[in-house]
Structure 1
Amino acid sequence: MSETDITSTSDDAVDQALSALVGLEDQPLRDHVAVFDAVHGALQDRLADVEG
């Protein structure tokens, strides 16, 4: 996924979380799970903030 593949969501926290996926395809597969976990956690935190 290149940086140009990511469309802005107009939510800085979500955009920042998703930016961790940029270049992931160039990283060893064993590193992907940690990145996915971090992105998932960041998105859950953002959702919790929105839900109040």
Structure 2
Amino acid sequence: MSDSAPGTPPSAGVPPTAVEPPTGDGSAPAGTGDDAVDEALGRLDGVAELDLRAQLVTFEAVHGALQDRLADAEG
């Protein structure tokens, strides 16, 4: 039987994992160490300045590239 109160999720008493806040200094991330992933993520630079249709095309292309890389990594 659980020690938590009825209707309380079992994780309610567990503190959340600490997440380091972003620095906000505008610097680019160091990279993932995977050239294909870094290249795909690099395509997102400046995407906010694109019109909506171009953003969609960019996001779909990056998503596809990341899916392909994941499939390659899984063998």
- TM-score bucket (shorter structure): 0.7 to 0.9
Which residue type is aligned with residue 39 of structure 1? Answer: V
Identity of aligned residues (%): 54
Structure number with higher relative contact order (C-alpha < 8 Å, ≥ 6 residues apart): 1
TM norm structure 1: 0.84
Instruction: Describe the superposition over 1:7-38 as per-residue Cα deviations: whole angstroms up to 9, x where unpaired.
Output: 30000000000000001111112211100100
Let me know the Cα RMSD of the aligned residues.
1.5
Partner Cα separation in structure 2 for residue 32 and residue 40 of structure 1? 12
Out of 34, 43, 46, the position equivalent to 1:20 is 43
TM norm structure 2: 0.61
- Structure 2, unaligned runs of 5 or more: 1-25
Q: How many residues are treated as equivalent by the alignment? A: 50
Moved over 2 A (4+): 3-7
Larger-gyration structure (1/2): 2
Out of 25, 28, 31, the position equivalent to 1:5 is 28
- The structure whose residues are more often helix, as a share, is 1
- Structure 1, unaligned runs of 5 or more: none
Partner Cα separation in structure 1 for residue 30 and residue 40 of structure 2? 13
